[in-house]
Amino acid sequence: MDVTIRVKRQDPDAEGERRLPYWQEYPVTIADNATVLDALIQIREDDDGTLSLRCSCRSAICGSCAMRINGHAGLACKTIANTVVQDGVITVEPAGVMPVVKDLVVNFDLFWEKIEAVDPFLKHMGREPEGEYIVSNDAMLHLSGVTACIMCGACVSDCTVLEVDPTFLGPAALAKAYRFTADPRDGDSDGVSMERLWALSEPTGVWDCTRCNECVQACPKGVAPMDRIMAIREQAIQQGYTNNNGARHTDAFTDSVGHSGRLDELRLPIKSVGGFTNMPALMDYMPVAFRALRRGKVPPIAHKNVENVEAVRRLFRQLEPNPPEPQVSNNSPFG
């Protein structure tokens, strides 16, 4: 197969133009079943020894070759070239979010700092078990979905929040955190990781995720980091860490739909920021509300119930258990 590999190159340490990103095209002839990594290695070996990239296992195990292929992160060794070629071209860029070292090699410091920030080791709080710690097979099977992570950074590369805010813990670290919050050996004797759930409910934690699904799409191992973030949110709410805008938003949203069938868009933002007691936050919305009002763009003041709302309310009563008691303070793990 004849294909042109269009590579975004950069050498930040170089003098002159090459310091800034530029595109270079490499026409190559590759086997029909060649991967994008095969093509890149061929270019490096035969055409241009200055092209830098990371790779090792070539089998989607080591996680070295994550990069953006046609705009989306993935492993070059797991991507068959002929499945992504568009009009004879495959576009390859370094992973996003992390700074470029050279060409397709990025600096992973940010990735590892975030993994370290979630204390990636078991923290048992209760009494030590006498003898070995027996964990159910189901619990470990469930965790194997997360431990499948190969730390390739594809999720971090495409995270829409990290793109605008490098303080966010991000998908890889939060999925790693779930590996512990869902481990029966972590936390107290019931396996509840109170301290972690408190910390993860703080700003830069689980509630800063936009639920955009980029990480789910990018992950080559099916870890689905965003789904793990949602699971941590659920765990945190269950433990009463509800004194934050994210938990309040989820609660008010569910409540609105559970009682009326639809979303009450006028009251939702008020409840999310903590009600009328949080005047600064509400005042912040005033200019937006004014502009909307002037344009005749207002949700109905009186929120109507859907037809046969009783059926919806019955489902809500059956399926949504009573909310847990809120923790007294948001600033202490134990109230």
Partner 1 sequence: MKYAFFPGCVSQGGAPELYPAAHMVCQRLGIELEEIPGWTCTGAGVIQEKNQLFGDTLNARNFAKAERMGLPILTICSTCQGVMSQANHRMRDPEYLAEINSYLAEEGLEYSGQSEPKHMLWILIEDYGLDRLGGYITRQLTDLKIAPFYGCYIVRPTEALDIADHPERQQSLEMLIQTLGATLVDFEGKTRCCGFPILTINQKNSMAMVGKHTSEVKDLGADAMVTPCPLCHLNLDGFQPKAASQARRSIDLPILHMPQLIGLAMGMSPSELGMKKHIISTGPLEVKAGLRR
Which chain residues interact with partner 1 by CB under 8 A?
A: 71, 160-161, 163-165, 168, 203, 207-214, 216-217, 230, 233-234, 237, 244-246, 249-251, 253-254, 257-258, 261-263, 265-266, 268-269, 272-273, 284, 287-288, 291-292, 295-300, 306-309, 311-312, 314-316, 318-320
Q: How far is the CB of 285 from partner 1 (least distance, A)?
A: 9
Phi-psi region of 79 (alpha: psi -120 to 50; beta: other; left: phi over 0): beta
Q: How far is the CB of 132 from partner 1 (least distance, A)?
A: 34
* Cβ nearer to partner 1, comparing 1 with 309: 309
* Cβ nearer to partner 1, comparing 41 with 100: 100
* Cβ nearer to partner 1, comparing 143 with 257: 257
Q: How far is the CB of 255 from partner 1 (least distance, A)?
A: 10
> Which of the 8 DSSP states describes residue 47?
I
Q: Which ranges of 182-273 would DSSP assign to H, the alpha helix? A: 194-200, 214-218, 225-238, 245-260, 268-272
* Cβ nearer to partner 1, comparing 45 with 320: 320
Q: For the purposes of burial, counting CB atoms within 10 Å of the CB of 313, is it exposed (0-12), middle (13-18) or buried (19 or more)?
A: middle
Q: How far apart are CA 135 and CA 126, in angstroms?
A: 15
Question: Cβ–Cβ contacts within 10 Å for residue 229, how many?
Answer: 24
* Cβ nearer to partner 1, comparing 43 with 171: 171
Q: How far is the CB of 301 from partner 1 (least distance, A)?
A: 11
Q: How far is the CB of 41 from partner 1 (least distance, A)?
A: 27
Q: How far is the CB of 295 from partner 1 (least distance, A)?
A: 5
Q: How far is the CB of 322 from partner 1 (least distance, A)?
A: 12
Phi-psi region of 242 (alpha: psi -120 to 50; beta: other; left: phi over 0): alpha
* Cβ nearer to partner 1, comparing 10 with 272: 272
Residue 49's Cβ-side half-sphere holds a number of Cα atoms within 13 Å equal to 0
Question: Cβ–Cβ contacts within 10 Å for residue 118, how many?
Answer: 23
* Cβ nearer to partner 1, comparing 187 with 246: 246
Q: How far apart are CA 140 and CA 184, in angstroms?
A: 9
Between CA 154 and CA 57, with CA 65 as vertex, the angle to 5 degrees is 125
